Amino acid sequence: MKKILLICCLTIASVGTLQSQKKDPPNILVFYIDDLRAELGCYGSKTAITPNIDKLASEGILFNKAYTQQAICAPSRMSTLTGLRPENLGIYSIFTPLRKVHKDVVTLPQLFKENGYKTISTGKVYHHFADDKESWTQLVARPQDRYFKPENLKAIADLEAEGKKNPKGPAHEDADVADDAYKDGVVANDAIKMLQKYKNDKFLLFVGFMKPHLPFNAPKKYWDLHDKNKFDIPSKEKPKDMFRLALSEWGELKGYHGIPNEDPLNDETTRTLIHGYYAAVSYMDAQVGKVLQTLEELDLRKNTMIVFMSDHGYKIGEYGTWCKHSNVEIDVRVPFIVSREKGYEKRNEGKVSNALVENVDIFATLADISGFNKPKTDGNSLVPVLDNPELKWDEIATSVYARGKNIMGITATDGEWRYTEWRDAKTHKILQAELYEHKNSLLSFVNLSGIKKYSKVENKMKMLLEKQFPRNAPPFPQNDIPRK
């Protein structure tokens, strides 16, 4: 009888332990990177030098087909942090903060804070620094761009003397300074301080590194990692029969001092900027490494899940253009890596998943992992894919890009083909369609829409797109007015 009681007690104790483990949600650390395209060492790049991110990928799952919902900072970040698509938020520009329009939408930090987590924002998380500030336990001040070279400081001073308010400096700098002289080094230091401060709490920590966003300012040692003369100049050819407004005029880059107002840029300027972009990526990677090292030193890795993601992709001269602001593959595809906490029994390491996933899925995923009741979102929890990376997932991933208030670009990919429609934003009348093949490349140079040979593919993609964007739908909601 005593043996039976002992076995029963042990069984109950074991069940209780398992239940307590199940109820013990992990800490969550999110690296949210600005303007990082899906080109890293772990993604097969022979150019990018990213040992720390590559190591993180070896400790988790690398998603090969991850997509953002709009290739511009503010709307993409709002979508991630609310789990709602831009076309449902109705915000398509960088000028409108979330809380100016949506007072009652439950955000990711708000949900976690209400469930007892310490929520911390370092660096750039929302595009607008103070947007949704009540949802953060601690909102760490965001550092600004810094220049150190005398000639660059003089250029800025001269512009100010001419009466220009808050002029942009040069598009790049390589001063021989310490990592924390530029802003991502400051963000890394802040993140480390937050880990030390909240190490005994449950936390949701967003680390918003701002490189490789312009200006490409990084310490000289990261420029020295790369040989400028070995960078190839991308093809400046634009896709044949592309919609006239499909690509932007990349005014974001042209606004920096010293960038000529020419289209396309000459090869020398292009090569220098490419050098700067990759230097900034390497600089950011080093900061990721510092934060991860601190996580290990504080013995937090066993119960901390890590997400590494970008707000959108980026062009560095491809198609003769720059920056993002479009629906093309290289702008909407993003790097996305998830490494579960080391104490998680189903943890996968060094896996690559070709499942179609989206940034809008992050909200549902983190809420699911933490066991929270969540509001209705547009994304899906990726927990099944995290447990089984070979699982087939969504049929399509969709993104949008508005051109002014009258034209909406909507796009879908099935992982191999990208189909885009440019519609009247009110009537959904199709102004022009585009079909591109992306089986083996981020780039495509021929619009295959309307070509008989590809009609079967186009019809399939058109049907998939219209599931998400019905032709009989109401006008696209507009809570701001985007510029062309």
| Rounded Cα distance, 254 and 273, in Å | 12
Q: Which of 389, 395, 393, 391 has its CA nearest to residue 417?
A: 395
Q: Which ranges in 249-372 belong to alpha helices (H)?
A: 251-254, 267-297, 329-332, 362-370
Omega cis (within 30) before 212 = yes
| Rounded Cα distance, 204 and 410, in Å | 32
| Residue of 42, 102, 127, 312 with catalytic role | 127
Q: Reduced to 3 states, what is the DSSP secondary structure of residue 152?
A: helix
**How far is Cα of residue 255 from the mean position of the Cα atoms in its chain?**
23
| Rounded Cα distance, 181 and 74, in Å | 26
At 102-113, the pLDDT tens digits run 999 999 999 999
pLDDT attached to residue 145? 96
Q: Which residues of the chain have pLDDT under 70?
A: 1-23, 481-484
Q: Tokens 């104490």, residue? A: 343
- Give catalytic status of residue 127 as yes or no: yes
| Residue of 8, 9, 42, 73 with catalytic role | 73
Which amino acid does the sequence have at 35? D
Q: Tokens 């949210």, residue? A: 32
The answer to whether the CB of 336 falls within 8 A of the CB of 357 is yes
Q: Which of 296, 136, 302 has its CA nearest to residue 204?
A: 136
pLDDT attached to residue 480? 84
Q: Which of 418, 415, 417 has its CA nearest to residue 356?
A: 415
pLDDT attached to residue 15? 37
Cα–Cα separations (whole angstroms), residue 25 to 18, 202, 265, 363, 406? 13, 8, 50, 15, 45
